[in-house]
Structure 1
Amino acid sequence: MSESIKHRSNNATYSFKTPAADSPIEILNEFYWTNEQEPHVARRKAILKKHPEVTKLTGYETKTKWYVLGVVALQLSVAFYLRNTSPFSWKFFLLAYVIGATSNQAIFLAIHELSHNLLFKKPIHNKLFAIFTNIPIGIPYSASFQPYHQLHHKFMGDAYLDTDLPTQYEGIFLSNVLGKCFFAIFQILFYALRPMFVTQIQFTYIHLLNVIFQVAFDIIMVKNWGGNSLWYFIMSSFLAGSLHPCAGHFIAEHYVLNENNTTRNVKKDNVNISKEFLPAETYSYYGPLNSLTWNVGYHNEHHDFPYIAWTKLPELRRIAPEFYDPLPKVDSWCGVIFWFCFNDVNTLWNRVKRLGKQKHGNKVNVPLDDNE
């Protein structure tokens, strides 16, 4: 499939065609390699220069913790209710999909807020509360998420440090309809397992506390409620990152999809896209599912100002509409999953990559700013 589209950059419009499904392999099977810096730092500086009042939006949100406690309590209640229900029953599956997956997606994204220290003033309090918030996920997750996610912000698109990016092997084997459907169904496993194969982080006492607390809680729960309650947590976590409406944000945030896709040139000097054709690499969604996901759909706004809490991101957009309204956006997370799987111009290659930091051995020790 090949279609003519237009791309607007620097007040000029360029016309070109998206690559056809039978295009040469060196055009289809390659990321958008670029030497250009990621766009968020420059836009942040421009916004602050024009709207210095944006600084008043920064800081933690005190009421978030109460919402999180409510979601954790809800998940514990359903886990207790299903303690004698078979995981293979429709009742178990439907509750795990409708309540469990939606709640655990909120849990994942609450840990995302905590990774930016946006629930409490002191970083250690955010880390410890993240370990508690981790309970309904069923496996230790929160301690590893924070350093990897900060690397994603600080080195966005970096081939070695941004583990949100698909690997070369994923692009080769999964950029077909069956592969993309497999990826969409099991994407939570890719996000959980990919980092350890790309960049290993140092194991700290926070990781140890996360493991000890989660394992101890799981053991106590299984002994008192039975194994079905733990299976409810695990199934909820899996479905939260599978074919679930809220899971659309994983793909929507940074994949270059549909009309935003541009023709790739043959790579030269590690660059296969010229500056004027470089597509946007972050996309916002302003639909109703933001109410269930701490406004994670405001993703350009979040990357521009990662130290603004979820409650203030709509205000940021209201203050600086001239910076955000012209940007391409996503209208439907459900639609994103469908378009990603069945539109042949959408593949796992559709991500912007840059060489950035070189890999040294199997482990990196990049200083992370706890105050960000």
Structure 2
Amino acid sequence: MAEVLHKRNNITYTFDTPAADSPIETLNEFYWTNESEPHVSRRKAILAKHPEVKKLTGHEPKTKWYVLFVVILQFSVAYYLKDTFPLSAKFIALAYVIGATSNQAIFLAIHELSHNLLFKKPLHNKLFAIFTNIPIGIPYSASFQPYHQLHHKFLGDENLDTDLPTRFEGIFLSNILGKVFFATFQILFYALRPMFITQIKFTYIHILNVIFQFFVDYLVVKYWGSNSLWYFIMSSFLAGSLHPCAGHFIAEHYVLNANNKPRSELKSKEEGNISNDLLPEETYSYYGSLNLLTWNVGYHNEHHDFPYIAWTKLPQLREMASEFYDPLPKVDSWCGVIWWFCFNDINRLWNRVKRSGKIKSGTNVKVRLDTN
């Protein structure tokens, strides 16, 4: 048993984290709570104290030029490798160092676009996202936006937040081999899981995304050969695998290490299985140098508090409201997060805060997603 100190609301709690061999009913369960997600209340508190924060909201026009550079870089490397065997050392090395880093930046540029933070008009953001999608190799951008908006609006909801692992994942992957498998193939979990959780409406933007992506893929294969397309695909896979920048997927919302809390005296999920005093933080920020390659996605508490502040201004938000952000637990290393997640027994796929959705599975639900 490991003694952990946790300070919340100016009260310090001392408690023991459960040992890896604790009873299954103690370890294997999510942090169920009826508490609302913390970002809305913190946003209101920050705005009440710092109304000048409103001036930070809005799109960042210069982002599109950085995105264009990354797309051109990916096409340049794809052309360079057109005659190189995909399983050669040079191909894999370039796909990991340049390709995966670039495609992670592209994934997160699409994330910025999903919040309409590159252009004033939502349609322009959607169309530019389809262009930005090209080096990923498969159509992705059109589906990401509605699922990601659900993640923001219903953080932790068991039916609508598709960022949450399923009970199936928790049961079969909460061991060392399972966690290594999850970390290695996490891009596939994020791509496929939403289809099994929540269905979204197929729109003309999805059709454009599919047609344009496959048309460009066809041109790449026709004029440069299949190796160039394989470079795009391999880059996308490695970007969401055991890559330093991929640590943000786990770091953002998993409750790890000292932030883990005991799940003693489990109750039904309708009542919540953990006291409010011991309910862990469910969003974690990272302020390290990898933010330079990922549009400051590490400022994740700040982003969830104010989704319509562009990446360039998130450090200003943290500085303005430092008294709200400095006390929050944070992540110091994305590489360390991958290691700790995989090889520390107390860290499992169960380590997420969940809310029992008021909207039950099987119900026909219409959810309005923001378009401006």
If the TM-score is normalised by the length of the shorter chain, which range does it land in?
over 0.9
Amino acid of the residue matched to residue 125 of structure 2? Answer: N
Residue 151 of structure 1 corresponds to which residue in structure 2?
150
CA-CA distance at 1:269 after TM superposition: 3.5
Could you state the TM-score of these two structures normalised by the residue count of structure 2? 0.98
Against the structure 1 CA distance between its residues 352 and 367, is the aligned structure 2 distance closer, same or farther, given a 3 Å change threshold? same
The letter of the residue matching 1:72 is V
| Counterpart AA for 2:127 | L
- Runs of 4+ residues over 6 Å off in structure 1: none
Partner of 1:160: 159
1:300 Cα offset (Å): 0.2
In 2, distance between residues paired with 1:37 and 1:239? Answer: 35
Given that 1:201 and 1:363 are in contact with CA atoms closer than 8 Å, whether structure 2 keeps it comes out as: no
Bigger shift: 351-360 or 305-314? 351-360
d(CA) in 2 for partners of 1:258, 1:301: 22
Whole-angstrom CA distance in 1 between matches of 2:370 and 2:215: 30
Deviation at 1:265, TM superposition (A): 2.6
State the shift of 1:363 in Å. 6.4
| Match in the other structure for 1:347 | 348
Unpaired segments of 5 or more residues in structure 2? none
How far did 1:365 drift? 3.0
- Structure 1: give runs of 5+ residues left out of the alignment: none
1:326/1:72 CA distance change after superposition, 3 Å: same
- Measure how far apart 1:357 and its partner are: 3.5
Alpha-carbon displacement from aligned partner over 1:307-342 (angstroms, at most 9, x marks no partner): 000000000001010000000000000000000000
Task: Give the equivalent residue in structure 1 for 2:370.
Answer: 369
Structure 1 pair 363–217 and aligned structure 2 pair: CA distance change class (3 A) = farther
* 1:357 maps to 2:358: yes
Q: Is the 8 A contact 2:159 2:361 kept in 1?
A: no
Match of 2:92 in 1: 93
Aligned-partner SS, 2:61: coil
Partner Cα distance (2:188, 2:11) in 1: 41
Q: What is the DSSP-based 3-state SS (H/G/I as helix, E as strand, rest coil) of the residue aligned with 2:7?
A: strand
CA distance in 1, matches of 2:371, 2:25: 41
**Do the aligned residues in 2 keep the contact of 1:76 with 1:136 (CA within 8 Å)?**
yes
Q: CA deviation at 1:207?
A: 0.5
Pairing 1:316-355 to 2, within 5 Å after superposition = 316-355=317-356
Distance 1:87 1:364, change over 3 A: farther
> Could you say which residue in structure 2 is the equivalent of 1:303?
304
Q: CA RMSD for the aligned pairs?
A: 0.9
Aligned partner of residue 59 in structure 1, secondary structure = coil
Matched ranges for 1:183-194 at <5 A:
183-194=182-193
Cα distance between partner residues in 1 of 2:230 and 2:285: 33
Q: 2: CA distance between counterparts of 1:325 and 1:361?
A: 41
* Alignment check: 8 A CA contact 1:199 1:364 kept: no
Q: Secondary structure at the match of 1:6?
A: strand
State the distance in 1 between where 2:182 and 2:365 align. 27
SS of structure 2 residue aligned to 1:264: coil
2:201 is aligned to 202
Q: For residue 343 of structure 2, what is the amino acid of its counterpart?
A: F
Task: Tell me the amino acid that sits aligned with residue 327 of structure 1.
Answer: L
SS at match of 2:76: helix
